[in-house]
A and B are shown apart, each in its own frame.
Chain A
């Protein structure tokens, strides 16, 4: 029982420290949001990738960077209605 408790605590600690650490009830919305947010922050964080997208879109780099972070707010649309 103690082991289980500790595992639970460790998991909670991880979830607090690293956003996106899943749990048994992770919903599709949470999971996809996380993936999308991770992706957008990665695009912003890798200068060549940001430049690649800026060239593709024909926009200045700063505009693409701002729009990527903007998309992180709600990357996959509205959250689903809570049933039950």
Chain B
């Protein structure tokens, strides 16, 4: 059981997966606006296209804690809202609706039909609905099909029937759609193969004659059962079906898509077939056949068309011509199919057409794209191919047709939605010298691959940056009248003077404003209706609208050191530690409160909150003193300047700010006191609006400089700008309403203030040395800044130069022509058939060639030049598979890059001619590579590692050690069969080497220098298909596998010590193996199922002053961390919280959370942070109930959850 584990980790997703498995479009909010619902990993995300700005934004993202396999939308007759059906691994069908008012999904029905898990015969893989919303079919890959009837009861609630079975043994299902039959009995069309006979026939004849059938399953609504109504043979290669509109809109039936053909089929119609055109071009293989990979049908005003995409990304528009009767009215008879080239977009998993004329392409790799239709390709010169010229029988021969791809003509790209999928590698390194490291990653496939840099921060757009004559110390903006919307003046305070700038058409110096300019300023405030005050060291100047002013002089021998103000109140602190308080009366006169309050130490800062709505004054004054305390004083008339509460701090406060902010715990607005300390720590506490008590203190280290705080407005919410070594913004998160602190992507500022003008309603003004900067923050939705550098081919691995801020990547693409062949083809006059126009590979892909590899080694500079510095193509059909930097001791520790390649590799089943080890010299300060020599090896070396001044290579099952030679690498030592199948990863510490096997987990190997032997001594008891590993400490290794698990394995202490003993080599070699493995076994420490395949793991610290975490990146674009727990109490708390959440907020798709996280191996020693963070978005009542069950307050629970994240990450 998990509770007995001695180690606990908190698993948290920092960036949700961005790979979209399926996307559907519908009116989920019940309004006319269409939304797009996407399934990525276990998350359902609802996206709202914005037609005015041509963008697309996420409304809600919900983690279902289950594998979402299929989505379908349907609408009951007479309703205006689309409902959502989810097919998952829960063995249940979930019927969901989106509730716009509460911004959440509501589960209407959850019907169990089978076992949980992704199984061959448990439905959930395919989901089809009747277009009229009367029934749905959910099916498995083999045999099982269930039909549910959907209806409404008298209260207009959706009802779901018990399932009707339509099972058929030995039937494999390729595709399933609901047929559009109008209001006749619902029919589902399935593409099936029956393998029953071929399993019994040893001659193989039955297998040769296997037929693929299109089968209609009819749901008889009267008799309440399902019959197999019609079946006919279709193309053997068919794999996709598309619904053709029926009823009044069209002929009904389906399009059957196979290899190089699309056939229209229906039970009462003739068959019609059109070929899929091939690309024409010098580099195209003229015999390559294309298949449809994605498509969509769109209906509009009585007409309809299909957009179908091939594996090259080419979109084809397919239309159906209908017959006409004698009167010229359309009949339901199909006459022909027409197909023509439309445009080329990235290869999609789903295409969604929106009624407003947009196309959403959920790309298979790289960023998703959003296009606007300019036209529908109706009257262009593109050649059209009709079914008239082709026999409907799929066996009939035909001559292929061709088209010329061209840049976009019918579509216009309006937005790209960044996606890191597939994420092939992730590293956290600090190359820029900032306080926190950056994340570097390689992602994408083919020509759409990229090198991405991620930094934690908010995007900032700078409006103006202007130089000033001297270095100012502070800056404010102020308006003249209470009623005016925009600021009139910018006030700059220098060491000995003040400068006033007026804001108008231009910003220029203002004179005669009444301000005292010969002294520095401490505070500026618009007060009353139309007056202003200026606080300076020698007093307060009250400037009336007439231009006259009164001065209140500071008492003799004392000066003002701090001030705080709002529109009716002013408080100042004198150098003697006294506090004077003023209030403005109805006539606009400033009255001083009789007594001055003497504080114990020197006052460093003051803050007054804004006046709450309907009140005359803010009732609290926060006073920070140099004895490291903050006191809250009352400002109510009868208890004026009396102590309310006190908070002791670790360092004197530098800046204070009282402000109301949106709060997730109470659901409304709460008064906060923000404290910035001299030590660089930022503190946020809740200030009770009645008693003035301070509670719920949260601290965060921002940087080694005193923190200055300012209240600003961003995107319509009050936020706090905290300035230390970097500017930070504190705001409440869009989705969770959690208080979030994020650095700005901006230089360090000395002082900042809010700025409102007509051009920039919610801007900020800041000073940096002698520069005045005006800027604003365009969005708060994403706190990760991404920069992308395009790469040539699918990146496979990357390493950092040992000293320089450069990365080296290896890239390779399978079945792709290398550049030398491409250029030879382009240059060959005999092959060129008409045009040698080269289209950009980024949009059109590389020319394909079966069995060919295109591969290169690139040098990437992500910091200065932000581009690929040089690229070295590999020749002779070699493809790079591994790389490492090695400092060979025999070469005086000179830096060499070793790249392992495979020649003529075939991926499945795995084979190759041989492997090579290329050794490169790094020249031109790392900018380019020079081949020194290459060494032939038996198989592609899948793993390379620098080890004690030599090179370790994993070649097949063996671990081989090489040293540098003159002509080639020299083998120094080897361990045959170090792992059982294929060595794919190497890690080292000391003389210990961790070898990971493609299939059989990890093996620890020790290198005995004295004997020059590599000896495996401990391995694992479970087969883990290792995809990534990293050493956590000398005994422990963390890894991920291809099934989506993360685990931590530890070598027992005694065995670990024994392996390192001097002279234990002979003993280790002769120790008896245990169960065909090494003599010892590893212990499992933690285990969790993440659903995404980890491709990289690293032990790193992500924030300044944060503890070490285990960072992992997943194939689908997930970035997550595992954080070790420090105390047992925390573990108990989170275990209880998990338990409560599993009960109160059961996963949406019906999967049991605990069994989901225990998909392959029972979850061990891991708390699911994603589940815990669900707490933040629950309704208030449920939050209280859960908090009650845990004997805590809601605020405490939220604080604990928030701290787990902010302690180590963002």
Contact = CB atoms under 8 A, between A and B. Distances in A.
Contact of B67 (A46, A57, A60): A46
Nearest to A43: B118
A41 interface: yes
A59 B347 CA distance: 11
Interface in B277-316: 291-294, 311
Contacts of B143: 19
A51 B69 contact: no
A55 B1091 contact: no
Interface stretch (B813-821, B827-835, B883-891, B973-981): B813-821
A61 B365 CA distance: 10
A74 B1091 CA distance: 29
A79 B199 CA distance: 6
Interface residues of A, number: 37
B202 A82 contact: yes
Contacts of B420: none
A14 interface: no
B142 A19 contact: yes
Interface in B248-299: 291-294
B21 A47 contact: yes
What DSSP secondary structure best describes chain B's contact surface? loop
Contacts, number: 144
Given A48-B1115, A58-B813, A62-B240, A79 B67 contact: no
B660 interface: no
B207 A73 contact: yes
B364 interface: yes
Contacts of B239: 62, 65-66, 69
A26 to B, nearest CB: 13
B1149 to A, nearest CB: 14
Nearest to A17: B121
Contacts of A44: 125, 141
Residue from A46, A60, A73, A74 whose CB has the most chain B CB atoms within 10 Å:
A60
Given A60-B311, A73-B207, A45 B125 contact: yes
B19 interface: yes
Contact of A45 (B69, B814, B1115): B69
What DSSP secondary structure best describes chain A's contact surface? helix
B349 A78 contact: no
Contact of A48 (B41, B140, B347, B794): B41
B172 A72 contact: yes
A49 interface: yes
A31 interface: no
A61 B202 contact: no
A47 B89 contact: no
A42 interface: yes
Nearest to B169: A19
Contacts of B203: 78
B142 A78 contact: no
A46 B142 CA distance: 16
Contact of A60 (B41, B68, B293, B1042): B293
A48 B1114 contact: yes
Residue from A37, A47, A52, A79 whose CB has the most chain B CB atoms within 10 Å:
A47
Interface string B537-576: 0000000000000000000000000000000000000000
Contacts of B172: 69, 72-73
Nearest to A62: B293
B21 to A, nearest CB: 4
A37 B142 contact: yes
Interface in B681-703: none
A73 B171 CA distance: 9
B349 A56 contact: no
Interface in A10-60: 18-20, 33, 37-38, 41-42, 44-49, 51-52, 54-60
Contact of A73 (B198, B347, B365, B1043): B198
A38 B121 CA distance: 9
Contact of A41 (B120, B200, B202): B120
A81 interface: yes
A63 interface: yes
20 contacts: A19-B121, A45-B67, A45-B119, A45-B141, A46-B118, A46-B1044, A47-B39, A48-B1093, A51-B19, A51-B421, A52-B422, A55-B445, A57-B907, A58-B445, A58-B814, A58-B816, A58-B907, A65-B239, A69-B173, A74-B207
Given A60-B311, A72-B141, A73-B198, 5 more contacts: A45-B125, A48-B1116, A60-B347, A61-B364, A63-B311
